[in-house]
Structure 1
Amino acid sequence: MYIIFKFARNCIRLCKRFKSTTVNIILKESLPTAAYQPDVVEKDKYANWEKRGLFKPSNNDKPVFSMVLPPPNVTGRLHLGHALACTVQDVIARHKRAAGYNVLWVPGMDHAGIATQGVVEKYLNRIRNVDRHRLGRELFIDEVWKWKEEHGNAIGDQLRKLGCSLDWSREVFTMNADHTYAVNMAFQRLFDRNLIYRKKALINWCRALNSTISDIELDLLKIDGPTHLNIPGYEKPVLFGQLYSFVYKIFGSSDEIVVATTQPETMLGDSAVAFHPDDNRYKSLAGKRVINPLTGRSMPIIFNDFVDMHFGSGAVKITPAHSKVDFDIANEHNLEYKQVIGEDGKMQNSGSYDGLMRYDCREKVVQKLNNDGLFVGVLPHSMCLPICSRTGDVVDFLPKEQWFISCTDMNERAAEMVKSGQLKIEPERFVDNWLQWCADDRDWCISRQLWWGHQVPAYRCSTVDKEVIWVAAQDANEARKRASVYLRTYPDSILAERDRDVLDTWFSSAIYPFAALGWPQHHYSKDYHDFYPLNLMVTGHDILGFWVHRMVMLGLELTERLPFPKVLLHGIICDNKGAKMSKSKGNVIDPIDIINGISLEDLRQKTIDNKNKGLLNQEEFDKAISYQRYNFMATEGIPRCGADALRFTLLSHDIKSNFVNFDINMCHANKLFCNKIWQSVKYLQLNFDKLNKPHDVVCLDDLTCFDKWILSRLQNMVAIVNKTTADADFHLTTKALRTFLYNEMCDIYLEATKPGFQGYKKTVAFAHAHTLSAVLNTGLRCLHPFMVYLTQEIIPKIPSFQDNIIYNFTDLDKPVFDWPLHSDFQSWDHPNVEKKIGKILNTASLVRELKGLCGISNRLRPLVCVRTADVDLKDDLENFKPVILGLTKCKDLQFEDAETARKRFIKGFIDFDTLVGVEILSDDVEKTLSMAKRKLTLKIEKLEKALTKLETKINNSNYVNTVSESMRIKEKQILLHKKEELKRMQTDLGRLSFENIGINKNNLEIK
């Protein structure tokens, strides 16, 4: 009986031993390829995520977080600017999900009235040689819908390729029935509150588009003196940048005054001549009139403060129908309006000049004035020419009946939201821009003369006796009923004609945050109840006024709530030279070409195809080809980088700065970073395979100094990542992740574990395995929002333990990985260990630097010699000699003695107590020393240039206004660091001599 009991007890002991050592090892599926291949890793993952509904909010009591994707225009394919915006939002959404939030991120696309109509017209003209007028409105709209179906799907595919975790079941298109109904209701409610009205006013008119355009579609082209420009509709270039002077005669007198203008043809529409009230030269002309030299009409002389008495003669002609400033002055002085330029760009109401194109008329007018002896002369003149960004045509200012929104009260409310802190704008430097927009008391023109868009839901209702009223309604029947109240007649006797104009796209977009969630039928919408207001709006700083400001105005007016409490503004994407990416510069890069890679020939063919479709004109095509040849010739195209490398690169820049410069080379380097991570997991898998043998129980006391060091660095990284991710300082997050995963974990810690994994002491190997498993699991969870495909592939394949002595992860089978909190790792802060290992790493770093200066390759394996008075460092160098030799690729490390004194070394100081030398294996010591000096001198010169450039940038007067506070702090720190580095290098250069390498000239013969 005793024997049986003893046998059973031994079996239990053995089982317990195996349970704590062998059975608790969880081996995972191997990685599919030897090296990281983005196409293999990314394949089918997104489709699987979407199929499993991972991006849909769940019905639970978790805290809610909601955003909408600023809808990209359905005009083609996404560009890198979209990729930046989408990646920023995706990181935020994924971080919130991992932190336990119930996240909704709504996708959508904007119909983009002007942009889409222009693109489709160019396409039809190129492919079928027809314009929209030949097709007719209905057939043209059909063609636009076909375009939307083709390119809208392409945009969705691109967003999926980028890994954007959008809830596609809630996708919105601004021309769909639900959104159209919301647009009509928004118009009607604002109309009923007397906030929308119709009036004749001066608007931006693009002749080529035959439509009003908003200020955002208007570019100001600066011209310094006489410049010829190609203008649509003109056979020869038109000359701009000249100031023409001519004479106005005083009515009933022989006196005359000289007036100057850049637009002589508008003289035909002049209504007055103005002077400054304080200009003593002209006070005697008060109450008098002048004769228009072209029309013979007399016009009043007026006085107004807007006139600059020091410019030219101090006299200004007033043309109310073709100048916004003059229009306001005319209202103030009750002047008449005479429109002499028509919507077709031809002269009208101008007598013999009628029918001439305005710039052809200019030549005729100047010639007439010259013939009559009234022309004084012409001078070069700097000016800003208003250009339509869509067509390149010069914008005219014309009087036209349009629909307007009264913005005064809504502006005051929007300003108060920011002043009171209820609406936070980040970066804060844009608060001033916000208040400037809110202080602009001009009303908002919301009608456009386009075919593609939301037709204005307003009806011109009239009776047989010609009484007319405008009403807003959902259809003609409702319009007649509403009009009957005001016209006091039966609805059936009223003729209701819908306005043919469409609404400004920004009006439709302004209601997007609440319309996308079910407004105005919000009483029946669970989404509106659960997710409105949104938690955050992320968009580019360039549309703060055009879009964000209007969303806040209409959100407050129509829902009585802020649509979101916080706005995060990111910069504009630029190329590696700092030039803004645009078709006109030819430097636009398709993010999919970076993800998949593309040859130079295919890149060229793609550009040819875009030109053939009418998407690029000849000038844009030439610039694109030139840019590709210059930037991608060396690499024969764009190398395959993958979505993760692209995402990580985009967010390695300070997104809060005004501009984000993108470099393909940096993106390719981050692909190599992905491979580094891939190899680290393979390394752990390989060593886990060797560990599946019985061993003693491992506890925290078995952790080596390097284990504790990497855990201390881990907690530091988690702390930084938690703070910077929450603050959207993603450039600091990515820097912390790359520093930890690439430099500290892969380059140092993995090397430090090799002796332990290869040694005979199993407790050390298991301590490394526990540590590395926990470090990889934690680090890659922090990396996951930035590199979604790579981390989703490898986190489940990290070998682990059922009871990891460092940290147990319980979410290995969950579709969304938990976010590592700093509080879980704070106990691993070991400053003393970091100080100890820091000295060891400084030694290794100096050895590598000295090898580099002398051109000693890793295969030569030189001897390292150390002289130190630091007893602790000496012990550590002895104890960690295998690690140091592995890090430095050297043969041996010895402490200075009589034997090493006879060898030839190049030496450098770590501090006052420690001198480190690397054996010079070349017989030509003078040549080696000369090489070292030359390399160090080049480094110093390069650093001095970088310092000068950085100091110039920081001292620039615009620096404070254009760079975020976090970037200013960072760059000042970089400046101080570079100055310290320069001082050290200059000191090192002075120390490089024969004496410093441990020999004198008489020793040169010693072998």
Structure 2
Amino acid sequence: MVTIYQNYISKTLKIHQRLMSSSTQVIFRENLSAPAYQPGFVEKDKYHKWEHNGLFEAQNGSKKPIFSMVLPPPNVTGKLHLGHALACTVQDVIARRKRSLGHNVLWLPGTDHAGIATQGVVERYLQSTQKTTRHLLGQEKFIKEVLKWKDKHGNTICDQLRSLGCSLDWSRQSFTMDSRHTNAVNTAFIELFKKGLIYRRKALVNWCTNLNSTISDIEIENVQIKGPTDVMLPGYQKPVKFGLIFSFAYKVMDSDEEIVVATTMPETMLGDTAVAVHPNDERYNSLIGRQVFHPFRKTPMPVIGDEFVDMKFGTGAVKITPAHSKIDFEIGQAHQLPVYQVINEDGNMVHCDHLFLLKNRYECRELILKTLKDIGLLRDIKPHEMTLPKCSRTGDVIYCLPKEQWFVMCSELNKRAVEVLKNGDLKVAPDKFTKTWLQWAEDDRDWCISRQLWWGHQVPAFKCSVDDSHVVWIACTDMNTAKLEASKFLRTMPAEIKAVRDTDVLDTWFSSGIYPFAAMGWPENLDKDYKLYYPLSLMATAHDILGFWVHRMVILGLELTGSLPFKDVFLHGIICDSKGAKMSKSRGNVIDPVDVINGISLEKLREKTEDMNKQGVLSANEMKKAIAYHKANFSGTKGIPECGVDALRFTLLSQDVKSHFVNFDVYQCNANKLFCNKIWQSVKYTQISFDKLRNTKDEITLNDLTYFDKWILSKLAYMVEKVNNSMDNYDFHLAAKALRTLIYSEFCDVYLEATKSGFESDNVKTGYAHAHTLSAVLNTSLRSLCPFMIYLTHELIPKIPAFENNIIHNFNDLHKTCLDNPMTEDFISWRDESLEKQSERLLKTLNLVRELKGLYGISNKIKPSIAIDTTDETLAKDLELNRAVVLNLTRCSVLNLGEAPKRNYVQAPLDKTTKIGVEILGDDFNNTILSARSKLEKKIKKLEQSLAKLEEKFSNSHYLTTVPQWTQIMDREQLSNKKEELDNLRKMLSN
């Protein structure tokens, strides 16, 4: 059968005719100065030169195809964390690949004013350094402090993004509080208000007392409490106990009966307006429609029937507090119940019995329990598993209260968001997040967009009235305009109208929701970037903000610009530590990528963590947890070893970023630094090998390529195809695996070793064939690797020795740079699957020889004879053809094809057709055998135990339903490898 390689020869004979009859000139390049890979040396000054030369700037006059993205804007006062590193690396790889394919790429950077996060950081800083609060300073002075903080720290994260190698177009950098974006935010609000899509009403909101503001669901961290737990809260001198459920009775009026209800928040009973039971609950259905007596308000409350009640939970009866529970609020509206607010914005009790009035809610809790006990209504207190909603910014416990707020009416907007997905105009990848999208888009709840903060976009709306009556709200930014517009509704002269601008600010997600088009020039400058780059080609971000940000960009983009802001969405996972725990300050397991890049000692880690506490970034509790985490995880290496940017990027993308969670292991990152060094050494080896040809010249053709030249070229063709396909599908981990397998396992570990005998032989043609192959494989593989390892490849590709015309390609190697992506069609003709299968048996044979040598303690300095007895004619032919390479790869002296001598040889079967024998040198043959068998038996036993643990995992339903899919895939791969290894060891033991 004619092979793919032979087909290629016949098809390209004319193309290579000139090359086959002429010599080629060797192009020597600058030698590598350092003996080993040093990240600091390789990365130095490169990014500055790239930015200075405008390498990442989009070209408005270019006729190339357009590709545009925006960087999800990080907090202006933030610092780079591994979540940013993952997100930015994913986007950077996409942007660099698009450039290498000839696109005009705009990847636009920006920072977010991040209202809650920034205000919280600055407040903690002021408390820590000046022992003051924003309330003591006042709003004007506090805003000045925020601006000072921004000026000092605002560029930190941008500089860190540069250090990570992010190829952003900094000439177009944006900020969500600059004048252009502020104008866009105001315009968006006013337009939506005029369309009737923004309105103001009183509703239940998530309230943080410490911030004195509403917060969105994403700013809530739901902490699981397993039982009675003391929790320190900001502003409290003693801990508050959670994890208890309290049962008390409401007396049925005109009866001796009572209904017992249970709650984890007994203080809210002051605002109860009903008791609900299931209509089908036989215990209570006779009470539906009757009334119970509230012991403190001294008023009756109805017993209502509602199917939301779980008959099996607790007593089957539920207290209803519409003012402080979103579920209860909805039930209250359905049953027309009154709303009694009993906790105010400061967390104190209001509108209640004087016994509890103005007491803090937790003080009130203790007093209510005591009073209920005294009057004989407290029935029980039990341990209870519960979810405690805490503000992720302050650590305070969140509660609900009714408050006038601004809302976006989402019902009609959401219908369009559903439609664009279902008709294929919008594509969300991976597909599994389509369901999440629809859950958000099919939710009719309106979006609360106002916040009671001091830092942010002030709501562009004025409360207009005459004598504080007949109030009308006008959306605009100018008081005179507000009065003029209000006069049309209030039927009076503008001068008689009192207009006060709302002091609230807009939700950061609102200003971020218009970011894709506002950053491109909307609404005023539509002729330049907006016209060329909007809508965006892609939105890439973490899946946890699909609803909070991506969905809102779509609904606002459709409404305000008339088009989707982007047609493709790619969602990646959330960064976790090596044990799979989500990284957060509360867990103490956050790893600074800068520390991974530069390395840091355990002592310096501690000093840095303590300083973050002094600066107000970490609380005392968060600091303790972080120090404990560092000690537990990095004591073995006395800190975090220096890994460099390239190893960090490659490690992040070696995991399946499409998974819900992406684990990061510092030690894997350090291993990838060693991979970088392996690449460095392979270029040094190539330079040395080319140097051996300096004084020789020979004419070679494609026919002079050796067995292993053809093999590595076939493997190269497979890698290029695999990488291109994987990158197109955002399967970066598969691309990374293909690159590592080719470069590390096949090129460095096998092919380079296979060329040594060729360069040392007297056959100059063989040396030249290896040189052409080395140059082509290195150049191509490093160009494929370039989007992952940007600094190393830019350092090494120009230093790979080359030829004026390389016989491997039908193009000139000298014209191929880091920015040229290897195309599948340029290499596919080199793919020879029959040769790969053939060589696989040869390499397995050599691996078994090495395993036998290792088992019997034969050093590589001692070169024994080997005997290979096989009935496989192809294998025998390959062994004979590559005799010198076989001996070099196995570190042996003599290869005998045939049965091994009976004395002083140990043997093991490769399979039914082939048996390998290795000579045992020395006089102590029997003891060597016994020692090896003992070692082998121990190894087999250990492997069997390891296999049993792995197999037990896959029989556990909890593992199958909770462990991330990518982790399961890796475990299955490990299971398969261990089974194969065990099988081989048992074969060795049987001989």
Q: Tell me the TM-score normalized by structure 1.
A: 0.93
| Cα distance, 1:970 vs structure 2 | 6.9
Aligned partner letter, 2:907: K
Greater Cα shift, 213-222 or 686-695: 686-695
Cα distance between partner residues in 1 of 2:198 and 2:958: 40
Cα distance between partner residues in 2 of 1:82 and 1:444: 27
Q: Which residue of structure 2 aligns with residue 600 of structure 1?
A: 602
Q: Which residue of structure 1 aligns with residue 611 of structure 2?
A: 609
Cα distance between partner residues in 2 of 1:98 and 1:17: 28
Q: Which residue of structure 2 aligns with residue 687 of structure 1?
A: 689
Q: 2:637 aligns with which of 635, 638, 650?
A: 635
Cα distance between partner residues in 2 of 1:151 and 1:332: 50
Note if 1:94 corresponds to 2:92: no
Distance change in 2, residues 1:795/1:731 (3 Å):
same
Cα distance between partner residues in 1 of 2:327 and 2:468: 39
| Cα distance, 1:935 vs structure 2 | 4.2
Q: Which residue of structure 2 aligns with residue 48 of structure 1?
A: 49
Q: Which residue of structure 1 aligns with residue 10 of structure 2?
A: none
Aligned partner letter, 1:239: K
Distance change in 2, residues 1:878/1:200 (3 Å):
same
Which stretches in structure 2 are left out of the alignment for 5+ residues? 1-17
Q: 2:357 aligns with which of 346, 354, 363?
A: 354
Note if 1:179 corresponds to 2:178: no
Q: Which residue of structure 1 aligns with residue 395 of structure 2?
A: 392
Kept in 2, the 8 Å contact 1:427–1:964? The answer is no
Query: Pairwise mapping of residues 236-275 of structure 1 onto structure 2 (< 5 A)?
Result: 236-275=238-277
Query: Pairwise mapping of residues 313-324 of structure 1 onto structure 2 (< 5 A)?
Result: 313-324=315-326
Aligned partner letter, 2:915: L
Distance change in 2, residues 1:911/1:418 (3 Å):
same
Cα distance between partner residues in 1 of 2:504 and 2:817: 49
| Cα distance, 1:272 vs structure 2 | 1.8
Aligned partner letter, 1:915: K
Aligned partner letter, 1:311: F
Kept in 1, the 8 Å contact 2:700–2:769? The answer is yes
Residue correspondences, number: 972
| Cα distance, 1:814 vs structure 2 | 7.5
Cα distance between partner residues in 2 of 1:946 and 1:167: 50
Q: Which residue of structure 2 aligns with residue 742 of structure 1?
A: 744
Cα distance between partner residues in 1 of 2:940 and 2:570: 40
Cα distance between partner residues in 1 of 2:393 and 2:27: 60
Kept in 2, the 8 Å contact 1:21–1:694? The answer is no
Note if 1:343 corresponds to 2:340: no
Give % identity: 59
Q: 1:488-509: CA deviations, max 9, x gaps?
A: 3333332221111111111111
Note if 1:368 corresponds to 2:375: no
Distance change in 2, residues 1:116/1:477 (3 Å):
same
Q: Which residue of structure 2 aligns with residue 11 of structure 1?
A: none
Q: 1:318-362: CA deviations, max 9, x gaps?
A: 211111111112212222111111111111111221121111111
Cα distance between partner residues in 2 of 1:954 and 1:63: 48
Q: 2:826 aligns with which of 824, 827, 831?
A: 824
Kept in 1, the 8 Å contact 2:806–2:812? The answer is no
| Cα distance, 1:789 vs structure 2 | 0.5
Q: Which residue of structure 1 aligns with residue 404 of structure 2?
A: 401
Cα distance between partner residues in 1 of 2:850 and 2:200: 75
Q: Which residue of structure 2 aligns with residue 36 of structure 1?
A: 37
Greater Cα shift, 344-353 or 627-636: 627-636
Q: Which residue of structure 2 aligns with residue 9 of structure 1?
A: none
Q: 1:62 aligns with which of 46, 64, 88?
A: 64
Cα distance between partner residues in 1 of 2:729 and 2:252: 67
Aligned partner letter, 1:542: D
Q: Which residue of structure 1 aligns with residue 198 of structure 2?
A: 196
2:910 alignment partner, SS class: strand
1:338 alignment partner, SS class: coil
Cα distance between partner residues in 2 of 1:290 and 1:965: 52
Note if 1:433 corresponds to 2:436: yes
Aligned partner letter, 1:907: Q
Kept in 1, the 8 Å contact 2:246–2:382? The answer is yes
Cα distance between partner residues in 1 of 2:421 and 2:934: 57
Q: 1:157-202: CA deviations, max 9, x gaps?
A: 1111111100001111111111111111111111111111111011
| Cα distance, 1:688 vs structure 2 | 2.0
Cα distance between partner residues in 2 of 1:127 and 1:92: 43
Aligned partner letter, 1:180: T
Query: Pairwise mapping of residues 326-725 of structure 1 onto structure 2 (< 5 A)?
Result: 326-352=328-354, 353-464=356-467, 466-524=469-527, 526-693=528-695, 695-725=697-727
Aligned partner letter, 1:165: S
Kept in 2, the 8 Å contact 1:552–1:563? The answer is yes
Distance change in 2, residues 1:844/1:249 (3 Å):
same
Cα distance between partner residues in 2 of 1:346 and 1:929: 82
Aligned partner letter, 1:407: C
Distance change in 2, residues 1:419/1:986 (3 Å):
farther
Aligned partner letter, 1:48: K
1:467 alignment partner, SS class: strand
| Cα distance, 1:148 vs structure 2 | 1.9
Kept in 2, the 8 Å contact 1:241–1:382? The answer is yes
1:568 alignment partner, SS class: strand
Q: 1:710-738: CA deviations, max 9, x gaps?
A: 11111111111110111111111111111
1:567 alignment partner, SS class: strand
| Cα distance, 1:842 vs structure 2 | 1.7
Cα distance between partner residues in 2 of 1:728 and 1:585: 30
Query: Pairwise mapping of residues 742-761 of structure 1 onto structure 2 (< 5 A)?
Result: 742-761=744-763
Note if 1:914 corresponds to 2:914: yes
Q: Which residue of structure 1 aligns with residue 110 of structure 2?
A: 108
Distance change in 2, residues 1:713/1:432 (3 Å):
same
Note if 1:147 corresponds to 2:146: no
| Cα distance, 1:690 vs structure 2 | 2.7
Q: Tell me the TM-score normalized by structure 2.
A: 0.94
Aligned partner letter, 1:393: D
2:23 alignment partner, SS class: helix
Q: Which residue of structure 2 aligns with residue 222 of structure 1?
A: 224
Cα distance between partner residues in 1 of 2:215 and 2:498: 30
Q: 1:91-141: CA deviations, max 9, x gaps?
A: 111111101111111111111111111111111111111111112112211
Kept in 1, the 8 Å contact 2:786–2:818? The answer is no
Kept in 1, the 8 Å contact 2:907–2:988? The answer is no
Q: Which residue of structure 1 aligns with residue 901 of structure 2?
A: 901
Kept in 1, the 8 Å contact 2:437–2:546? The answer is yes
Cα distance between partner residues in 2 of 1:514 and 1:396: 35
Greater Cα shift, 721-730 or 626-635: 626-635
Distance change in 2, residues 1:778/1:294 (3 Å):
same
Aligned partner letter, 1:302: I
| Cα distance, 1:981 vs structure 2 | 4.1
Q: Which residue of structure 1 aligns with residue 14 of structure 2?
A: none
Kept in 1, the 8 Å contact 2:794–2:818? The answer is no
Distance change in 2, residues 1:767/1:412 (3 Å):
same
Alignment root-mean-square deviation, CA: 2.3
Greater Cα shift, 373-382 or 550-559: 373-382
Q: 2:212 aligns with which of 210, 213, 223?
A: 210
Q: 1:904-953: CA deviations, max 9, x gaps?
A: 12222222222112222354445433443444445445544554555555
Kept in 1, the 8 Å contact 2:64–2:104? The answer is yes
Distance change in 2, residues 1:390/1:774 (3 Å):
same
Kept in 2, the 8 Å contact 1:339–1:348? The answer is yes
Note if 1:784 corresponds to 2:786: yes
Kept in 2, the 8 Å contact 1:632–1:638? The answer is yes
Q: Which residue of structure 2 aligns with residue 125 of structure 1?
A: 127
2:331 alignment partner, SS class: helix
Aligned partner letter, 1:910: L
Kept in 2, the 8 Å contact 1:97–1:816? The answer is no
1:858 alignment partner, SS class: coil
Cα distance between partner residues in 1 of 2:761 and 2:854: 31
1:312 alignment partner, SS class: coil
| Cα distance, 1:145 vs structure 2 | 1.8
Cα distance between partner residues in 2 of 1:944 and 1:116: 54
Distance change in 2, residues 1:927/1:802 (3 Å):
same
| Cα distance, 1:475 vs structure 2 | 2.4
